[in-house]
Structure 1
Amino acid sequence: MKLNDLRDNPGARKGRMRVGRGLGSGKGKTGGRGYKGYKSRSGSSVNGFEGGQMPIHMRLPKRGFNNIFAKDYAEVNVGRLQAAVDAGKLDATKPVDAEALKAAGVIRRVKKDGVRVLGKGDLTAKLDLQVAGATKGAVAAIEKAGGSVTVTAPAPAKAADAD
Structure 2
Amino acid sequence: MELNNLKPAAGAKHARRRVGRGIGSGLGKTAGRGHKGQKSRAGGYHKVGFEGGQMPLQRRLPKRGFKSQSAKFNGEVTLAALERLVTGSNVADVDLLTLKQAGLVGELVKNVKVIKSGELTKAVKLNGIGATAGAKAAIEAAGGSIATA
TM over 0.5: yes
Give the Å deviation of 1:77.
Answer: 0.5
What is the match of residue 99 of structure 1? 97
> Contact (CA 8 Å) 1:39, 1:45: kept in 2 or not?
no
| Residue identity matched to 1:145 | A
> Contact (CA 8 Å) 2:73, 2:108: kept in 1 or not?
no
State the identity as a percent.
48
Aligned pairs for 1:62-141 within 5 A: 62-63=63-64, 72-88=73-89, 91-92=91-92, 95-112=93-110, 114-141=111-138
- Taking the aligned partners of 1:87 and 1:69, their CA distance within structure 2 comes to 31
Could you state the TM-score of these two structures normalised by the residue count of structure 1? Answer: 0.55
Aligned pairs for 1:135-150 within 5 A: 135-150=132-147
Higher helix share: 2
> Contact (CA 8 Å) 1:134, 1:151: kept in 2 or not?
no
Change (3 A) 1:143 1:50: same
Give the Å deviation of 1:78.
Answer: 0.9
Could you state the TM-score of these two structures normalised by the residue count of structure 2? Answer: 0.60
Q: Helix, strand or coil for the counterpart of 1:87? A: helix
Q: Could you list the per-position Cα deviations for residues 76-109 of structure 1 after superposition, in whole angstroms to 9, with x for gaps in the alignment?
A: 0111010112222x512xx211011112222232
> Contact (CA 8 Å) 1:123, 1:142: kept in 2 or not?
yes
- Taking the aligned partners of 2:145 and 2:91, their CA distance within structure 1 comes to 15
Change (3 A) 1:39 1:104: same
RMSD: 3.4
> Where does structure 1 lack aligned partners over 5 or more consecutive residues?
1-32, 153-163
> Contact (CA 8 Å) 1:99, 1:110: kept in 2 or not?
no
Q: Helix, strand or coil for the counterpart of 2:94? A: coil
> Where does structure 2 lack aligned partners over 5 or more consecutive residues?
1-32
- Taking the aligned partners of 2:96 and 2:116, their CA distance within structure 1 comes to 17
Aligned pairs for 1:53-64 within 5 A: 53-63=54-64
